[in-house]
């Protein structure tokens, strides 16, 4: 097991050209995105704290609409955040103060489990396989669940697994019946295809349960790490959450909110299709070049990330990661995504696709060369 966390690995890979380590949007701007960036000096000059709250509400409404979500300000209070991780930190504080335990989806990005554990929130795994193995699997899990909180990520990082509408409805129904709190991290919702979109916010508001939804734009638009994450908090949790939130933040930069709103408006024109297509192109480039006998795609092909299983015997994810790093290509290995049962990720690698195609082509060539070099196939 690797001692360092995934983000530390990602930080170390930042200086390298062939960094496919983090899932942030490090790609060139499209022509239309460039036109927005070209106006950024004006957005800066027009930024005004006095219009900030109105601008935030408008941003949240438009961002949710892009994701096919209802904007329900009577139920949800929207609180802006610097990062989605800060939103997780706030949720973790809330759970600790209320002495709540949580069933957390597995696999997931390691910082969610690490933050919850640092606050000594007792964790139990919510294996994502119960979302794909049919209703009996989900029912069996719900029957044995003892945690006070269910914490889901959909679509999930790294696998792209989606909580279907039927499963979500059932989980919410369970939360109503058992008085559980639901946390949903929807940071990748823009990558869902039209058929997979349903209205989380409407279902949650209609149920009346306590819940927090975490949203983010950092894995979507390349804005030099400027992003506009937010928490949507249900009525009974607001007073507790808002106090903590105000300990961290007075006001997210209105410039950032404006810039990201412009990106949202751009995506509205085609319902976000261009964002998904950029990823599909890179995925196709990659899959046509790497030998499937070496690395097999083991994801839903949704996110700007590829989750790969090492299919050759005798090699594990960490071994391949090291060999690739020696050759200048930086990816993550899978164990740390399985925060409860690391061995389940032993054969996996995660590779970023939100990059320029030439980076993907180069990395694919390095991987193919490595496969030849190993001579196992």
Ligand X SMILES: *Cc1c(COP(=O)(O)O)cnc(C)c1O
Q: Does 187 bind ligand X (CB under 6 A)?
A: yes
Q: Residue 286 has which token pair?
A: 């990659």
The smaller minimum CB distance to ligand X, of residues 81 and 364, is found at 81
- Phi-psi category of residue 59: left, alpha or beta, with phi > 0 → left and psi -120 to 50 → alpha: alpha
Pick from 368, 358, 361: nearest CA to 286: 361
Q: Does 157 bind ligand X (CB under 6 A)?
A: yes
Q: Report the nearest approach of ligand X to the CB of residue 294 (Å).
A: 26
- In angstroms, the CA 28 to CA 129 distance is 35
In the chain the first and final C-alpha atoms are separated, in Å, by 27
Give the per-residue contact string, 213-242, with ligand X (x = CB under 6 A; - = no). ---x-xx---------x-------------
Q: Report the nearest approach of ligand X to the CB of residue 67 (Å).
A: 14
Q: Residue 270 has which token pair?
A: 């085609």
- Phi-psi category of residue 207: left, alpha or beta, with phi > 0 → left and psi -120 to 50 → alpha: alpha
Q: Are 62 and 272 in contact (CB under 8 A)?
A: no
Strand partners, 330: 19
Q: Scanning residues 110 to 139, which ones bind ligand X (CB under 6 A)?
A: none
DSSP 330: B
Among 33, 56, 148, 185, indicate the residue that binds ligand X (CB under 6 A): 185
H helices of the chain, where? Answer: 6-13, 31-38, 40-46, 52-66, 84-97, 110-118, 135-144, 165-178, 200-207, 238-248, 254-268, 273-287, 317-326, 357-374
Q: Does 13 bind ligand X (CB under 6 A)?
A: no
The smaller minimum CB distance to ligand X, of residues 64 and 352, is found at 352
The smaller minimum CB distance to ligand X, of residues 11 and 166, is found at 11
Among 9, 19, 23, 141, indicate the residue that binds ligand X (CB under 6 A): 23
The smaller minimum CB distance to ligand X, of residues 188 and 371, is found at 188
The smaller minimum CB distance to ligand X, of residues 187 and 351, is found at 187
Q: Are 147 and 101 in contact (CB under 8 A)?
A: yes
Q: Does 306 bind ligand X (CB under 6 A)?
A: no
What is the dihedral sign for C-alpha 185, 272, 219, 334?
A: positive
Q: Report the nearest approach of ligand X to the CB of residue 155 (Å).
A: 9
Q: Does 84 bind ligand X (CB under 6 A)?
A: yes
The smaller minimum CB distance to ligand X, of residues 84 and 329, is found at 84
Residue in this structure with the two tokens 């195609």, named with its chain if needed: 357
The smaller minimum CB distance to ligand X, of residues 58 and 114, is found at 114
Q: What element of type H or E holds 220?
A: none
The smaller minimum CB distance to ligand X, of residues 84 and 354, is found at 84
Among 83, 193, 284, 293, indicate the residue that binds ligand X (CB under 6 A): 83
Q: What element of type H or E holds 98?
A: none
Among 85, 93, 154, 161, indicate the residue that binds ligand X (CB under 6 A): 85
Residues in binding contact with ligand X, number by CB under 6 A: 13
Strand partners, 78: 232
Among 153, 192, 231, 370, indicate the residue that binds ligand X (CB under 6 A): 153
Q: Does 89 bind ligand X (CB under 6 A)?
A: no
Contacts to ligand X by CB under 6 A: 23, 83-85, 109, 153, 157, 185, 187, 216, 218-219, 229
């Amino acid at each position: 097991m690797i001692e360092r966390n995934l983000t530390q690995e990602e930080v170390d890979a930042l200086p390298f050209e062939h960094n496919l380590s983090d899932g942030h949007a490090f790609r060139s701007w499209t022509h239309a995105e460039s036109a927005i960036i070209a106006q950024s000096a004006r957005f800066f000059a027009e930024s005004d704290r006095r219009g900030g709250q109105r601008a935030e509400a408008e941003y949240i409404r438009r961002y949710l609409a892009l994701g096919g979500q209802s904007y329900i300000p009577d139920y949800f209070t929207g609180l802006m955040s610097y990062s989605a991780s800060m939103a997780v930190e706030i949720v973790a504080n809330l759970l600790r103060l209320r002495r709540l335990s949580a069933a957390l989806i597995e696999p997931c990005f390691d910082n969610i489990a690490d933050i919850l554990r640092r606050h000594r929130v007792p964790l139990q795994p919510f294996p994502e396989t119960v979302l794909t193995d049919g209703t009996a699997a989900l029912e069996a899990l719900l029957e044995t669940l003892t945690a006070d909180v269910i914490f889901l990520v959909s679509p999930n990082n790294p696998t792209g697994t989606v909580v279907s509408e039927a499963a979500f409805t059932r989980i919410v129904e369970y939360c109503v019946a058992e008085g559980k709190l639901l946390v949903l991290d929807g940071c990748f919702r823009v990558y869902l295809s039209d058929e997979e979109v349903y209205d989380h916010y409407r279902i949650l508001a209609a149920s009346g349960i306590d819940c927090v939804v975490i949203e983010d734009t950092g894995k979507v638009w390349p804005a030099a790490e400027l992003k506009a994450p937010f928490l949507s908090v249900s009525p009974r949790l607001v007073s507790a959450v808002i106090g903590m939130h105000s300990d961290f933040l007075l006001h997210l930069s209105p410039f950032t909110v404006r810039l990201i709103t412009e990106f949202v408006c751009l995506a509205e024109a085609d319902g976000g299709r261009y964002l998904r297509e950029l990823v599909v192109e890179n995925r196709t480039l990659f899959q046509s070049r790497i030998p499937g006998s070496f690395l097999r795609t083991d994801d839903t092909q949704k996110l700007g990330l590829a989750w790969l299983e090492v299919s050759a015997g005798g090699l594990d994810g960490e071994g391949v990661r090291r060999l690739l790093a020696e050759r200048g290509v930086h990816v993550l290995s899978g164990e740390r995504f399985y925060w409860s049962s690391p061995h389940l990720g032993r054969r996996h690698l995660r590779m970023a696709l939100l990059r320029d195609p030439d980076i993907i082509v180069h990395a694919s060539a390095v991987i193919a060369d490595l496969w030849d070099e190993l001579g196992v196939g």
